[in-house]
Structure 1
Amino acid sequence: MFMESVTTESGSWLSTTPAAKPMTHNKEYYFLPYWDNKPCMHIRSVWPDLRRRMYNSNIIAKVVDKFDDGLQDVNSLWEVESPNTETRLKQVLEELYNGCGKYVTITQTSLTGPGTGKTKLDKEHIKLCLREIEFIGSSARTLRALVTRSSFKERYKTAQSYLTKLKFLTEDPQHALPDIFLWLISGGKRQAYQRIPARDIIYSVVEEERGKDCGKIRTMFLKFPSKKGAKHSGWTIPCELRIFLWLGTLKHKKYFINGIPKGYEETNEFKNAERPRAMPPSVIHYVEKHVFQLRAHIYQARSIIGSDSSGLSDPFATVVAGEFSKTTQVIDETLSPTWDELLVFEEILLYGAADEIKHDPISIIIEIFDQDRVGKSEFIGRALAKPRVKLRGEQYARPKFPPMLEWFEITRGADKAGELLAAFELLEIPSDQDEELPPIPAPKEIPVFKDTDLRHFHAPILPVPRGIRPTLARYRIEVLFWGLRDLKRIHMMTVDKPRVDVECAGQILSSSIIQNAKKNPNFSNPVKFFEIDLPEQELYRPPLTIRCVDCRSWGLFTLVGTHMINSIHKYTYISPSAKEKELRKNSPQKTLVVDNWSVGFYGQNQNFDPNNTSMRTPLLPKETSGGGYGTQKNQQMMLRGGSSPPTIRKRKMSLEEEDDEEEESKDWWTKYYASVERMCEESKEDVIKAFKGNTLDPHGNKDEETSPSIVSEKSPSTGETKKKFNFKTAVNATRFATRISPKGPRKVPVEKKKKKVATFKIFKTELEHQIEFNEFKDWLDTFPLYRGKKTEDDSEDESRIVGYFKGAIKVYKWPLPKDVRETRDLTNGFFQGIPSNEPIRVLVRVYIVKANDLHPQDLNGKADPYIVLQLGSKKISDKDNYVSKTLNPVFGKCFEIEATFPQDSMLTVQIYDWDLLGSDDMVGETKIDLENRFYSKHRATCGFPSKYEESGHNAWRDPLKPTQILAKLCKDAKMDPPVYGKGQIKVCRQVFTVQVEDYENGNLKNMDEQLALNVLNYFHHLPDIGCPLVPEHVETRPLYNPDKPGIEQGKLELWVDMFPKDMPLPVSPVDISPRKPTSYELRVIIWNTDEVVLEDDAFFTGEKMSDIYVKGWLKGQEDCQSTDIHYRSLTGEGNFNWRFVFPFEYLVAEQKIVITKKESMFSWDETESKIPARLELQVWDADHFSADDFLGKIKQKSTRSI
């Protein structure tokens, strides 16, 4: 009963306000008529002085709030792909550094002040906060220097980890002052409450230590107690309270009047506020008041929550300002309503000084509801806003007035429920007849039909004025309706005849109806467009809604799912002007250095003649080379006694024979390991660059001792400027090289340099996530379709997906400006030259190389993985070839599947764990959208190698030759075909050249093919039509288990080739089967030992002696072999002449010994493991009655003997 009933006791402390009867204007929202007499409550109590705990938390909390707001700004810029994202993150990190430094300064000077920690835990907690925040500050300064466009995601995650640590430090482990409770009392019972932490309103003379709500007018929303709250919706607000709070010691009592809004009558209580024992006033009487007119410009909302079973809503908005409220019209069945309505509130009376009302105006509450035909309207969300205040005598002119529309976040509880585009202005009503308020626009004319529902019509409906509403321009929205994928059943019925509607600002563009979605889920008429007036300002542009409906019998339509696009900025096409094109055309082209050939641009040479030798002068010197595929240079061999041509020729012939033998031994794994080594070298270079530019001390300064500098040197023979790394000292250079390189320096023979091996690109992530390929969304984008009510759980929202819409959207101004029309013809639409979306048969080859770091599935901490492929209705299981007991299996498998697009568009690669008993468990899976890759302009069907070869381990895989592919690309882009000359090629007004000397010894045969391949590898440098083409590669894809969302279960290395069946058949698949180990035999001869430690004592003479024998092994203790015993060695010398023979299986490329054995007698099959090839020899002293004594050992790499 104590919590329910309240009794008011008269005394010196006043803790309740006088009872008042609520009043209302519309019987929906009630208010208490306090008018000009504001009740005041006060409580005095005695507590231990634990202010320092609250002060410490407040300083950290203010740093956290500022840092959190900054990260939210960065996230917003990232979502719209702003170029200022990295700059803003750097600014946020710099602000964090300054905030941490301010905390350290204040805390260190306050350690001896009042309220210092009373307990040991207080002191240790302060030390912890100082240490952690100082470290976070220095780390933030260092992280700021490392922020780049390529590493933005990693740096942003690191910054978020700093925020998590700071939030943890904000909460003090011990209690300070108790929290303050505000109760709404009616009929002597408690109805609603709000709990306020004491540290939020504690007063301190230091601004950083003061509570965030201390001495300020705040709007608070009360909530129901737990028992009553269960009866009401969790989002219902029982009361809005506008309140002033202050908490402090009696010594600081005189400061509480500083925050109270001026305009009140100064009574004796205010005059005696400095006296500690004087009582605060019970009522504050305001004598200054002002009358305002509130104009609420409600334009539109976007991305609101769907409250109906169809996934849509019938929203209307209610604006609450003080004691008044007004409602907008209802917009039926939409998630992005456009009200375009002005709500006018007359004669809003506010008390206080005019300047303080302008500085801190009342809060405007906007509640969004969904109108239901039966029952009460359903709450969608709530937004808070502050109006722009205009006082009497101020000019209603730019830049302050009229106010600009702003986006306000709509929330429902802790979740985001959408955004509201609106503006609010509070205009003081003038007393002078000469001054007038800005005019109100004329009401809108709304047509009324027979079936129009008039219940929510509030005539007249005023539109948003012209100066506030966005300025509109004509745009064309062009939509590529490609098809629908993975449609689920709706109401237990399949979706047979779907249609897609695209809505923007009330206009709808409908696709054609798919007659049989199961047979062909693509649209027959893919490209459509409509023209619409959109705001010029990007901020005001409405969202775009994609709806999919099923056209059923009798003209019925059933909603399948919807997708909301909040910002159409990423789909807006901005064509460069003709002047920019001309500038780019006339600008000099940069000379490029390619991996294999010396390729350059001659510039805008329109008079190219293949037979003119003067035009075949290479732009690059012969010495220029890259690291992708090493060219074998013709070096002059100098003999000791001189040089003679016949000797050189014989030596050259022998080197060529050796190269032929070496070429025969190469396979695909040779390329793989060479590519891995190349990737490691590139990683070292990246580390060097980052270390060179961003080596900072904790204060953000560069460390000159360890940073390598760049020294430019000019070559005397070529005149080229070369850049070399230079270190300050030899010691630092040694340390740096040791830290970067895991291997020692390699010795290269003087007579012969080893020919480099062809390599390919190894991507550390998925191919579609590479920046240059943009997820292969150049033609097609995938939009998930949602159905049902949005929930608070993201995993449950994933279950709301009922299918996917594949298509593309382009938004551009219409009609086009004159300079744009000269550069590109968009009369027939943006999607010109798109491929046909008719069903096409494709041969898909999936190469599974290996898996890394799989999640253990068995009790022994390992797994027995095997591969399962799913493509449409086809499923391939490689269960019989599972790899036993390993977490890093090497599969080396190629699977061929015949697919038909669009039915078989999503490839699922799964890794299962084989179990002897019971069902097999899925380790993880990855999904690849083959259709997007197949139709992409990046040509992700078959990657391009760096060099063209017709046979061998680097043989060409594509059925089309490079010359055919290049000719086709030029034809599709409506460009002239390439023109070939001797050692050069002209494409798109650019001329590529290559050294003729590189084609000696029969290489002239495929010169045109290599020239075309060079152009394809650098296709993105071509003007107008250029774009990055997918190189030969292996991609690394993470594996995820649907039962454990978001947790990576390992990585899979693979690549996919696709070949249309209507084209020539490709060559045989590449053999990537794992290398089989070669049988070797290691023979070790033990001749003698010397200076062996003497461990035993002779029984009769007492002399030192040892019974020496040697044992050794290569694979392990089970492979141990021993010599005989050399008894009673008095000098440490032992003679044996003994031979050990160790047979083993060896992989030369990996330099590992392969051991295959059963782990135990109960094991079902053998386990393969790889260990380094190391021979271990040990010297022992044999004893008769006790254990043998260990004397010494030696380890030696056996690879030196192979």
Structure 2
Amino acid sequence: MQGDTLLYKTFLHHELPILVVYEKEIETYFNNFSDSIQQFKLQRCPKLGGDPDDEDDEKDPDIGMYKGSFRIYELHPDTSRNRELIYGTVPTVGPIRINVRVYLLQGLRLACRSRIKENTCDPFLAVKLGSREIYDVDGSIKKNCRDPMFATFYNLTTIIPNMPQLVVQCWDWKATEEGRDILIGETRIDLENRYLSVKRPMCGLTERYMIDGPHSWRDFMSPVQILEEWCLANGIPVPTYSSDGKRAGVNGEMFSSEEFEKHEVNYEDSAVWGEYKERTALYILLEFGLIRDYVEKRQLTDPVMPGVPQGRILMWVDIFPFSEKPPEPMRVDPPLPVDQELRVIVFEVTNVETIQEIDPGPGMKKLNDLLVQGHFSGDTESQVSEIHTRAVNGNGVLHWRFKFNFQYAYLKRKVMIPGDIEDTYLDPIVTLKVMDGDPGVSKEPYGYVHLNLSYMPRGMAREDWAIMDIIPEYEDPPKGKDEVYDPDDYKFVGPPKITFLNLYKAKKTLGWWPLYKKQGDYLVKTGNIRMELEVMNREQSEKRPAGFGRNEPNANPVIPEPM
């Protein structure tokens, strides 16, 4: 969650568009988009004076559905204007052919209904609209997975109001002993209501008008065109704009783009940001409550067991008129993991609390052989530094470089471990342990430090600033009943500011960190470690080669022999 919060704050600082995530079906938040048309049940009329034994009277009274609206208008004295006033705001009637683009991102906690699979399933997608049915077994199947990442989309066409219902299904592949597929669940979407709604959910509006990049505008109409159409549909005069496009007046109210764009430096790149007039129109549309760019989590149910949840699916739908050329589809496939190399240079450790087989006695120095062990998420073996022999009182100088190679998935902010059936994703955590060079003295580490590269404390500039408060998981142990207040305990002044960083953005950090170990339920400090961490991709590592430890090529940077 800390990493997600950091990313969210970064988007807010740079004023980048943010998706709205609806935890349920989007229509439940907007009264089923019934602002233009509503649904009414059609029922069979009972026969007057009918025979109580007549079987026809016992049938289900519901015989269909009527979709429309009932409105009462005040007539204008000039009868020639009545048609314009009444029907000017009525949606177009008659069959309309539309293009439908269905984005299906991920299944969420899908039900496991197979009797031959243990708490798992092999889900794939099926989409139905009108007379077209797509069973995408080859393209969307995910093996042994209850939270499959589909990351795909489908283009379809239909005619409304004739065939308005979109059906998205999730199936379990070969879920029976006979090799049959089992329906996990489905969700149904009324496209007609979305197409005709004044909220315009047919294509969500991005929060910023960008003409390039991953957040570029994807509607077939520009914000200026949408705003003009919306004003005409609601009987409002079309907007007027200032000469520079930064201000606009709508229905007696003035809007300025400066109200929505807080930091001018974020909008300097003209190759990315569209013209001011379009940006101002977009902000007005968002203020009027039109649907923003969104994803929705739709519940999947089985028609045989209505009302029983079978999981959810993360998705959204874009709708465009068939007469207009649809824009390029949005890329939803997750980026491929990137080959990364982490280089950790351990310079020294200080004040490590060590043990000895024979107590040296009061006033005598403790002498231990110390080494550092490095481990990265997903590695089967740890790397080991050379031994600093006869380290005095837990102070050792190592000057040793560790190198860890891994694949990093930026979207998940995790390390990917390739698997035969399914890939595994782990937090990018590097662990440095201070060990005794003689296992006969101690097999347990004297102290260690865990650092999550995507959210880690920045190294301290001074050794005495490496306090436990910079470790996110640290909690102060409770004071004992017999402990007495000592003013000397409160003389220490800690670091001026504790900050955290994402090493994949900062690239490099150098400083001091505390070493600690667990005693009971709490972490206790046992020493300090000074090191440098640097992360780079494969291309950068090939341009700046460096050897393990102090081996050749001993460069980038050169590590001297410890004195």
Same structural fold, with TM-score higher than 0.5 when normalized by the shorter chain: yes
Summarize the Cα distance change of 1:992–1:1110 in structure 2 as closer, same or farther, 3 Å threshold: closer
Alignment of 1:103-114 (within 5 A): none
Deviation per CA, 1:312-337: give whole Å up to 9, x if none: xxxxxxxxxxxxxxxxxxxxxxxxxx
SS at match of 1:1012: helix
Deviation per CA, 1:1085-1129: give whole Å up to 9, x if none: 45565545235459xxxx997665543321146243334566787
Residue in structure 2 matched with residue 778 of structure 1 by the alignment: 35
Deviation per CA, 1:82-128: give whole Å up to 9, x if none: xxxxxxxxxxxxxxxxxxxxxxxxxxxxxxxxxxxxxxxxxxxxxxx
Residue in structure 2 matched with residue 1171 of structure 1 by the alignment: 426
Query: Residue 929 of structure 1 is aligned with which of 176, 179, 190?
Result: 190
Give the CA deviation at 1:847. 1.5
Residue in structure 2 matched with residue 838 of structure 1 by the alignment: 94
Query: Residue 8 of structure 2 is aligned with which of 650, 663, 677?
Result: 677
Is the Cα–Cα contact under 8 Å of residues 123 and 171 in structure 2 kept in the other structure? yes
Is the Cα–Cα contact under 8 Å of residues 1096 and 1105 in structure 1 kept in the other structure? no
SS at match of 2:380: helix
Summarize the Cα distance change of 1:1184–1:1193 in structure 2 as closer, same or farther, 3 Å threshold: closer
Deviation per CA, 1:818-874: give whole Å up to 9, x if none: xx5569999779777533443222111112233333335675544443322121222
Do residues 1013 (structure 1) and 275 (structure 2) align? no
Query: Residue 870 of structure 1 is aligned with which of 124, 128, 140?
Result: 128
Give the CA deviation at 1:1185. 9.0
Is the Cα–Cα contact under 8 Å of residues 842 and 901 in structure 1 kept in the other structure? yes
Is the Cα–Cα contact under 8 Å of residues 335 and 410 in structure 2 kept in the other structure? no
Do residues 1196 (structure 1) and 451 (structure 2) align? yes
Alignment of 1:247-396 (within 5 A): none
Do residues 852 (structure 1) and 108 (structure 2) align? yes
Summarize the Cα distance change of 1:1185–1:823 in structure 2 as closer, same or farther, 3 Å threshold: farther
Summarize the Cα distance change of 1:836–1:1136 in structure 2 as closer, same or farther, 3 Å threshold: closer
Q: Distance in 1 between matches of 2:221 and 2:301?
A: 36
SS at match of 1:966: helix
Summarize the Cα distance change of 1:1047–1:862 in structure 2 as closer, same or farther, 3 Å threshold: same
Give the structure with the higher percent strand.
Answer: 2
Residue in structure 2 matched with residue 639 of structure 1 by the alignment: none
SS at match of 1:805: strand
Deviation per CA, 1:1049-1093: give whole Å up to 9, x if none: 333222111111123x12211112112222111123455655452
Deviation per CA, 1:1143-1198: give whole Å up to 9, x if none: 1112345432222224xxxxxx2x22322221112344577899944543321233
Is the Cα–Cα contact under 8 Å of residues 942 and 958 in structure 1 kept in the other structure? yes
Q: Distance in 2 between matches of 1:1097 and 1:921?
A: 69
Q: Distance in 2 between matches of 1:1187 and 1:823?
A: 100
Residue in structure 1 matched with residue 315 of structure 2 by the alignment: 1054
Residue in structure 2 matched with residue 985 of structure 1 by the alignment: 248
Query: Residue 1067 of structure 1 is aligned with which of 297, 320, 327?
Result: 327
Question: What 5-or-longer segments of structure 1 have no aligned partner?
Answer: 1-672, 679-745, 790-798, 1020-1027, 1159-1164
Q: Distance in 2 between matches of 1:801 and 1:766?
A: 29
Summarize the Cα distance change of 1:835–1:1146 in structure 2 as closer, same or farther, 3 Å threshold: same
Give the CA deviation at 1:964. 2.3
Deviation per CA, 1:869-900: give whole Å up to 9, x if none: 12122222333333344433333222211222
SS at match of 1:1014: helix
Q: Distance in 2 between matches of 1:957 and 1:1135?
A: 58
Q: Distance in 1 between matches of 2:445 and 2:165?
A: 62
Alignment of 1:1109-1124 (within 5 A): 1109-1116=371-378, 1118-1123=380-385
Query: Residue 152 of structure 2 is aligned with which of 871, 889, 893?
Result: 893
Is the Cα–Cα contact under 8 Å of residues 257 and 279 in structure 2 kept in the other structure? no
Q: Aligned letter for 2:20?
A: K
Residue in structure 2 matched with residue 626 of structure 1 by the alignment: none
Q: Aligned letter for 1:848?
A: L
How many percent identity over aligned positions? 28
Give the structure with the higher percent helix.
Answer: 1
Summarize the Cα distance change of 1:1029–1:1138 in structure 2 as closer, same or farther, 3 Å threshold: closer
Is the Cα–Cα contact under 8 Å of residues 211 and 274 in structure 2 kept in the other structure? no
SS at match of 1:1141: strand
SS at match of 2:70: strand
SS at match of 2:142: coil
Is the Cα–Cα contact under 8 Å of residues 16 and 208 in structure 2 kept in the other structure? no
Query: Residue 419 of structure 2 is aligned with which of 1147, 1157, 1178?
Result: 1157
Q: Aligned letter for 1:1156?
A: P
SS at match of 2:171: strand
Alignment of 1:707-746 (within 5 A): none
Question: What 5-or-longer segments of structure 2 have no aligned partner?
Answer: 47-58, 360-364, 455-502, 504-532, 536-563
Is the Cα–Cα contact under 8 Å of residues 810 and 830 in structure 1 kept in the other structure? no
Summarize the Cα distance change of 1:1000–1:1032 in structure 2 as closer, same or farther, 3 Å threshold: same
Give the CA deviation at 1:677. 3.2
Summarize the Cα distance change of 1:1006–1:1183 in structure 2 as closer, same or farther, 3 Å threshold: closer
Give the CA deviation at 1:933. 0.8
Q: Distance in 2 between matches of 1:759 and 1:902?
A: 33
Alignment of 1:942-953 (within 5 A): 942-953=203-214
Is the Cα–Cα contact under 8 Å of residues 767 and 1035 in structure 1 kept in the other structure? yes
Aligned Cα root-mean-square deviation (Å): 4.3
Q: Distance in 2 between matches of 1:762 and 1:911?
A: 21
Do residues 1033 (structure 1) and 294 (structure 2) align? yes
Q: Distance in 2 between matches of 1:675 and 1:1087?
A: 30
Summarize the Cα distance change of 1:1085–1:1054 in structure 2 as closer, same or farther, 3 Å threshold: same
Q: Distance in 1 between matches of 2:6 and 2:445?
A: 45
Q: Aligned letter for 1:755?
A: H
Instruction: Specify which structure has the bigger relative contact order, considering alpha-carbon pairs within 8 angstroms and separated by 6 or more residues.
Output: 2
Instruction: State which structure, 1 or 2, has the greater radius of gyration over its C-alpha atoms.
Output: 1
Q: Aligned letter for 2:127?
A: L
Q: Distance in 2 between matches of 1:851 and 1:788?
A: 44
Is the Cα–Cα contact under 8 Å of residues 869 and 907 in structure 1 kept in the other structure? yes
Q: Aligned letter for 2:130?
A: G
Residue in structure 1 matched with residue 180 of structure 2 by the alignment: 919
Summarize the Cα distance change of 1:1128–1:1011 in structure 2 as closer, same or farther, 3 Å threshold: closer
Alignment of 1:664-813 (within 5 A): 677=8, 755-770=14-29, 773-783=30-40, 804-810=64-70
Deviation per CA, 1:422-458: give whole Å up to 9, x if none: xxxxxxxxxxxxxxxxxxxxxxxxxxxxxxxxxxxxx
Deviation per CA, 1:233-269: give whole Å up to 9, x if none: xxxxxxxxxxxxxxxxxxxxxxxxxxxxxxxxxxxxx
SS at match of 2:193: helix
Give the CA deviation at 1:1001. 7.5
Give the CA deviation at 1:913. 3.3
Do residues 1045 (structure 1) and 306 (structure 2) align? yes
Summarize the Cα distance change of 1:935–1:1115 in structure 2 as closer, same or farther, 3 Å threshold: same
Alignment of 1:28-177 (within 5 A): none
SS at match of 2:331: coil
SS at match of 1:932: helix
Query: Residue 161 of structure 2 is aligned with which of 884, 899, 902?
Result: 902
Is the Cα–Cα contact under 8 Å of residues 1096 and 1106 in structure 1 kept in the other structure? no
Summarize the Cα distance change of 1:1180–1:842 in structure 2 as closer, same or farther, 3 Å threshold: same
TM-score by length of structure 1 reads: 0.31
Between the two proteins, the alignment pairs up a number of residues equal to 421
Give the CA deviation at 1:775. 1.0
Q: Distance in 2 between matches of 1:788 and 1:875?
A: 37
Residue in structure 2 matched with residue 156 of structure 1 by the alignment: none
Summarize the Cα distance change of 1:1005–1:851 in structure 2 as closer, same or farther, 3 Å threshold: closer
Is the Cα–Cα contact under 8 Å of residues 1037 and 1051 in structure 1 kept in the other structure? yes
